[in-house]
Structure 1
Amino acid sequence: MENLWEKELCEGSTSYVDIFDDIKTESVSSGHGLSKNDLISTQLREKGNQKFKDSLWIDAMDYYNKSLRFAAIGTKNMSFVYANRAACFLHLKMFDKCLIDIEMAKEGNYPKELLPKLEKREADCLKMMKREKQEHLLERKLSFEANANFPCLANVVEIQWNDEFGRHVIAKCDLPAGKTILVEKSFLSTTLSGPFIGCATCQRTTMNFIACDHSMMSLLDSTIAVFCDDHCKQAGLHKYDCNFVYDRNQANDSQLRMMAQTIFFGMDAMENIDEMIQFVEETERIKSSWTPDSIVDAKSKYRLFLTLAAFPDENEKKSLVVKAKSLYGILIGIPTVNGVFNTTEKQQFLKHLVTKHVVIASQNAINATQNQCQRIATLGLIFPLFNHECAPNLLNFSIGDQQVCITMRPVKKGGQLFVSYVTADVSTRLRQTHLMNNFGFLCKCDKCELKSSTLAAKKLLADPLYLFLQRNRKVDLLNDTIRANIKEKCIDLLNKHGQTWFPELEFVVDLYVKSELYEH
């Protein structure tokens, strides 16, 4: 990897060296999937009907979604899937989605003789909406107005750069604990849970899925793509690898697919490949001290991606170059890629670009839980800019394909906002070893260089709120009322005593974190 972006020494040549020279790879089994098939679609729908009879609504919906992926566009089979899926949403008390599916069934060639049954379902749904609570996904919102140039970030923080910390995020005013300052939808995401069960763009499940017009079935027993709605369908990068399987090994397929999508995003942001080459080369020249002005357009997002930090160790470098060579071999065989990287010079550039993308994606992607049946990998652009402390002042967690950051200790104006890159409950020695090996630095926070905290600890331990939390440390945080009360008291204590970290504060921090996470 030492020769990344190195050009040939031959006089007059502007081509990059072959970065994959002498790199051996293991073979991957990539290729195209199978065609849509109404017979298979019907069989899958009938399996869903059996699950429905057994009152297994989620399992039934899973089969209906598989059936939808096989169903030919505009057929009665597709309208049957929408109608049956609407019944699942009704039982799950997801009434809005039920009504959407009923409308799609009506618009999708649903047989006239069966319409009375569908209309009764619609009437039942409307009645239930009036008397029963609808299930909603909890969505986090910023506690302040959004930054106009970075809509995922609150306008009370800003991105800065200096020699000591590089790019980092600071508070523009005093920030109390318990405030949400980042809600970032992932730049790209992919499923880690085997066959696709969610939207190909955002990975959400139990939605009013619509199928790709050209989507086929892969040999992984999973179709390549369904989408939440037209927005996800149009916003995604599926057009570049429609009906393509990167590897029959599902885990490797997911990794390679996300890495490929980063390449597709760059291609999609540019008018042509010549512009892309110029853009990437310019970014390489300015990356060391570059700070983004905004991420409101595709080019600014791609430039930020290209400048994300990555610190692979020597063993990782070797394995990542091997993976990059495998991905390049796959990409160059896809017509949408091969058709534009159509000269030796452009293909040599692509080899270097793929290597850079593989390193950045592998070092910055985060594994997250979408729900009980799906794990996903997400890649953000702003979240990686937060620096590390072992005693962070931010709580960060994932909700689906979103990364959320909440202040869990007060931050003074001008203070830096930190997340933690390591597991909290390990020794200082192990934390420091991990940080040095993986990120190239040692942490100097209050937790790692512990100072005397006797006075601060005495004040905390004597506080009536602290004594109340100690007495109620084992309460049921699944109870909304109890959890809200505990959370409020934790925030009050953290604002009074949490300006600096000391060991006795850890109990309050842990309880606050649990009260936040139990909401999700």
Structure 2
Amino acid sequence: MKMECLLAYYTKKFTKIDGNIFELFAQFYNLDLSPVDSWLETQFKNKVEKDDKLSTFYRQEGNKCYARKDLVKSLEFYTKSLCCATPHGKEYGLALANRSAVSFEMKEYENCLRDIELCFETNYPKDLRPKIYLRKAECYCEIGHEENLDRCIGEARKFLNMEKIPDKEKHIKKLNQIKKSTVKMKNIIDNYRDNSNDLPELADGENENFAYTSSKLQMSYDKTRGRHVIARKNIRKGDVLFVEKAFIFAPVFKDNKEFYSFKCYNCLKDIISSIPCRSCILCVYCNEKCRAHSWDEYHKWECKGMQANIWYDLGIAFPAFKAVLKGVKSGFKCIKGGPEEDLKRFGSKEDNYPYFNRLVSNIYKSKNAAPYIVMAAIVVNYLKNYTNFFTWFLQQKNCPKNESTDLITYVGGLITKHIAQLSCNSSIIEHWSYSSTDLLFPDILITIACGMFPSVSIMNHSCRPNVTNFFICDTLVVKALEDIPERDEVFNCYGIDYRGMSRHQRQVACRSLYHFECKCVICSDQSKEVEMLDSYICPKCKGLVPEIANVSCIFCVGCGEEYSLPPFRKVNKVAQKYLESDDGNQLEILIKCLKIREKILYKHHKDFEEVYYRLYSYYVEVGDAENMFKYFHLWLENEKARRGENSRGIGTKLYEAALAILHCLQSGHPKNCNLKSFLQNVEHMIREAKAVLNLYYPAYITNRLSRKIQFISNK
């Protein structure tokens, strides 16, 4: 039986959701659960364990990719091969050795050395070891570690003298060549410090009573808004307001039921030379410390489920189970009292479970919460039948129940509740990645995990938020998107943004997903919707005449004058024909189009975007500084009105334009240009670009902007 069939089967039998959730789960658990057990049995019959034949297959696929110089794909296959191999066996060593070759090609010398050291700890064939010694020596040569290079060559010679290795003299000759070669760099590893995981500091320091938040914030409460966050002091754009490590997270499966092989399962750090779980073939780690921590904290209870692929189908029940494991240590400690207790203190870096457990679940507002209970039942039956979790838990001093049956139904009720809490409060952890190697800034977001951030989740939603965020590994960084006056509310966006959805779509999403009606500044005032920018100008009062599809007459928003829309549309089509024309002088055509549109369209209408940008591009080509700045800034103001003054797109376009204009300066002195004001204008664009991009990227990424600009300016 497939998961969707299993859920449908019980939904028909169990639809009433009211009363105490623990009693409800106990009631459900007394039903016939043979379909649940049957589903688990099927999953475990098809479980996937370590398999050297599968490891060989993936290694051979990696070899094919390596032969055609697809290094990234070969790296992925070699990591898969490593995950499938028997730990420390021959295939394990072969996968490490092959992956070290890719790391060397990618100039990732530190990762190459790590894989080589791990390779030497395995049953790697002796006749292949000279090649690995040579690669190790070449790494030390590249990074300038002469002492380590000498030691490596000494070890290699000793090995060659002790073992009967074919072509021994050939290998010794190569070692001598490496010994004589010039060291290319000096102490690059010693001097290089990876700052990609450095966390920013909170504005005004950390709040003593609100964990992971700035002292500029405080929690507030009223009956209308519930718990919410307000500005305790004036907040400036760019202030860091939250730096919160995930209470729990669960990596999101890709379509092929696998995780990303370049993310540590325990901390979400980027990795190349990963090490795999000793039992399942899905989880990889950045080092032994992370692997040991993962096993002790949670993976020992979920690993068999990984082998049987149950977590892929259980979806949000996966992180809910991890939340339960967090509560085990304290025996599911609770905080009693109403919202006034939260105002005194909220959140703990030592044990955040009690605060997570106070988050709303809205389970009784759900039209069908039966799937939550079904998934919780699957998890507890997995724990009962395929692990010793409940036997172990009953022996712990903080166990809240004395009998196995009571404990099973209690844990099932908690998982049900946590699924509902995660549905309302969790965040999708997304990491920036590149769509092209030519880009300086990452431009696509990859969904990595589902995480829970209790303090951040206290913020209410707005379709026009005043904060933005990004992730560094498993930590969420929230920054002010604009200045926020003292006592004003701080709003997050739950993924329902007015620039990408109509008001009706947003209201449906808020009601169905979060069980509230949005009354934010946009939803409460239809004149602030983005589509209102795509209006015509009233000839009488210069107010807005909205464009509405399939409507022929409309009233001006300003003076109430009624207008027929077809004449406006006809004139705009004439302007569009100019824009699409290939005949005649392109500058003349663009100016004609622009003049027509300026007479009938609102100044931030979407139809200005293309003509402004084409005029800017034209003047860049001809080197006319005055006009290139003029039309770029007209385009920029249009974009700010439509996408938001501090949108990421604004930052990247400012940066790209600054580079284009600097290149224009290098190719020859621009026309209509005072050099000093020209450079000041470019400098202002760069400062604005960095200020905007700092809202969306960690500092190590935006610092590349300064280095790139400095490099070009010095050329």
TM-score by length of 2: 0.56
Aligned to 1:379: 451
Task: Say whether 1:195 aligns with 2:246.
Answer: no
What are the superposed Cα offsets for residues 371-430 of structure 1, whole Å, 9 maximum, x if unpaired? 479633321222211111222111234455443322111012333211122232333344
Counterparts of 1:113-152 in structure 2, within 5 Å, are 113-114=130-131, 115-126=133-144, 137=196, 141-142=200-201, 144=203, 147=206, 152=212
What are the superposed Cα offsets for residues 190-209 of structure 1, whole Å, 9 maximum, x if unpaired? 12212133432234454331
Amino acid at match of 1:356: K
Measure, in 1, the Cα distance between the counterparts of 2:423 and 2:64: 41
Measure, in 2, the Cα distance between the counterparts of 1:233 and 1:318: 35
Aligned to 1:457: none
Between stretches 174-183 and 112-121, larger displacement belongs to 112-121
Indicate the SS of the match to 2:372. Answer: helix
Task: Say whether 1:2 aligns with 2:39.
Answer: no
Aligned to 1:31: 44
Post-superposition offset of 1:241: 2.1
Number of residue equivalences: 468
Measure, in 2, the Cα distance between the counterparts of 1:240 and 1:179: 40
Structure 1 residues 471 and 354 mapped into 2: Cα distance closer, same or farther (>3 Å)?
Answer: closer
Amino acid at match of 2:286: C
From 405, 412, 426, the counterpart of 1:344: 405
Between stretches 414-423 and 37-46, larger displacement belongs to 37-46
Post-superposition offset of 1:238: 0.6
Identity level (%):
19
Structure 1 residues 152 and 105 mapped into 2: Cα distance closer, same or farther (>3 Å)?
Answer: farther
Aligned to 1:165: 225
Amino acid at match of 1:392: P
Measure, in 2, the Cα distance between the counterparts of 1:487 and 1:393: 23
The structure in which a higher percent of residues are helix is 2
Amino acid at match of 1:195: E
Contact kept, 8 Å, 2:207 with 2:214, in 1: the verdict is: no
Measure, in 1, the Cα distance between the counterparts of 2:464 and 2:473: 25
From 355, 370, 384, the counterpart of 1:318: 370
Measure, in 2, the Cα distance between the counterparts of 1:260 and 1:116: 47
Indicate the SS of the match to 1:81. Answer: helix
Measure, in 2, the Cα distance between the counterparts of 1:332 and 1:208: 36
From 370, 374, 379, the counterpart of 1:327: 379
Post-superposition offset of 1:368: 4.1
What are the superposed Cα offsets for residues 95-139 of structure 1, whole Å, 9 maximum, x if unpaired? 443343344445556655331232213423556766999998576
Structure 1 residues 45 and 7 mapped into 2: Cα distance closer, same or farther (>3 Å)?
Answer: closer
Contact kept, 8 Å, 1:246 with 1:330, in 2: the verdict is: no
Measure, in 1, the Cα distance between the counterparts of 2:64 and 2:527: 66
Task: Say whether 1:390 aligns with 2:463.
Answer: yes
Amino acid at match of 2:76: D
Indicate the SS of the match to 1:412. Answer: coil
Indicate the SS of the match to 2:111. Answer: helix
What are the superposed Cα offsets for residues 154-193 of structure 1, whole Å, 9 maximum, x if unpaired? 3433344444433322333211112332233332121221
Contact kept, 8 Å, 2:245 with 2:476, in 1: the verdict is: yes
Measure, in 2, the Cα distance between the counterparts of 1:246 and 1:76: 22
Indicate the SS of the match to 1:169. Answer: strand
Aligned to 2:514: 439
Indicate the SS of the match to 2:369. Answer: helix
Aligned to 1:308: 359
Task: Say whether 1:156 aligns with 2:216.
Answer: yes
Post-superposition offset of 1:485: 5.6
Measure, in 2, the Cα distance between the counterparts of 1:515 and 1:154: 16
Contact kept, 8 Å, 2:50 with 2:86, in 1: the verdict is: yes
Contact kept, 8 Å, 1:89 with 1:95, in 2: the verdict is: yes
Task: Say whether 1:361 aligns with 2:537.
Answer: no
Counterparts of 1:98-497 in structure 2, within 5 Å, are 98-106=112-120, 111=126, 113-114=130-131, 115-126=133-144, 137=196, 141-142=200-201, 144=203, 147=206, 152-186=212-246, 187-193=248-254, 194-196=257-259, 197=261, 198-213=263-278, 215-216=279-280, 223-236=281-294, 237-245=298-306, 248=309, 251-267=312-328, 269-270=329-330, 275-276=331-332, 279=333, 282-283=334-335, 285-286=336-337, 289-291=340-342, 292-297=345-350, 300-312=351-363, 313-339=365-391, 340=393, 343-370=404-431, 371=433, 375-381=447-453, 382-398=455-471, 401-421=474-494, 422-425=496-499, 426-450=501-525, 469-472=633-636, 473=639, 477=653, 479=655, 482=658, 486=685, 488-489=687-688
TM-score by length of 1: 0.75
Measure, in 2, the Cα distance between the counterparts of 1:176 and 1:74: 54
Contact kept, 8 Å, 2:230 with 2:488, in 1: the verdict is: yes
Contact kept, 8 Å, 2:466 with 2:481, in 1: the verdict is: yes
Contact kept, 8 Å, 2:469 with 2:695, in 1: the verdict is: no
Indicate the SS of the match to 2:477. Answer: strand
Structure 1 residues 242 and 146 mapped into 2: Cα distance closer, same or farther (>3 Å)?
Answer: farther
Aligned to 1:47: 61
Structure 1 residues 57 and 255 mapped into 2: Cα distance closer, same or farther (>3 Å)?
Answer: farther
Measure, in 1, the Cα distance between the counterparts of 2:80 and 2:307: 20
Structure 1 residues 365 and 452 mapped into 2: Cα distance closer, same or farther (>3 Å)?
Answer: closer
Measure, in 2, the Cα distance between the counterparts of 1:138 and 1:344: 44
Measure, in 2, the Cα distance between the counterparts of 1:137 and 1:208: 17
Amino acid at match of 1:100: R
Amino acid at match of 1:226: V
Indicate the SS of the match to 1:244. Answer: helix
Measure, in 1, the Cα distance between the counterparts of 2:98 and 2:195: 21
Measure, in 1, the Cα distance between the counterparts of 2:141 and 2:110: 13
Measure, in 2, the Cα distance between the counterparts of 1:311 and 1:23: 27
Measure, in 1, the Cα distance between the counterparts of 2:468 and 2:384: 41
Structure 1 residues 116 and 96 mapped into 2: Cα distance closer, same or farther (>3 Å)?
Answer: closer
Contact kept, 8 Å, 2:429 with 2:451, in 1: the verdict is: no
Measure, in 2, the Cα distance between the counterparts of 1:358 and 1:129: 53
Structure 1 residues 374 and 39 mapped into 2: Cα distance closer, same or farther (>3 Å)?
Answer: farther
Contact kept, 8 Å, 2:428 with 2:447, in 1: the verdict is: yes
Between stretches 443-452 and 59-68, larger displacement belongs to 443-452
Structure 1 residues 145 and 176 mapped into 2: Cα distance closer, same or farther (>3 Å)?
Answer: closer
What are the superposed Cα offsets for residues 127-154 of structure 1, whole Å, 9 maximum, x if unpaired? 6766999998576624536527667433
Indicate the SS of the match to 2:352. Answer: helix
Aligned to 2:27: 18
Structure 1 residues 47 and 468 mapped into 2: Cα distance closer, same or farther (>3 Å)?
Answer: closer
Aligned to 1:501: none
Indicate the SS of the match to 1:101. Answer: helix
Contact kept, 8 Å, 2:390 with 2:407, in 1: the verdict is: no
Measure, in 2, the Cα distance between the counterparts of 1:319 and 1:399: 33
Contact kept, 8 Å, 2:21 with 2:417, in 1: the verdict is: no
Amino acid at match of 1:207: I
Contact kept, 8 Å, 1:247 with 1:253, in 2: the verdict is: no
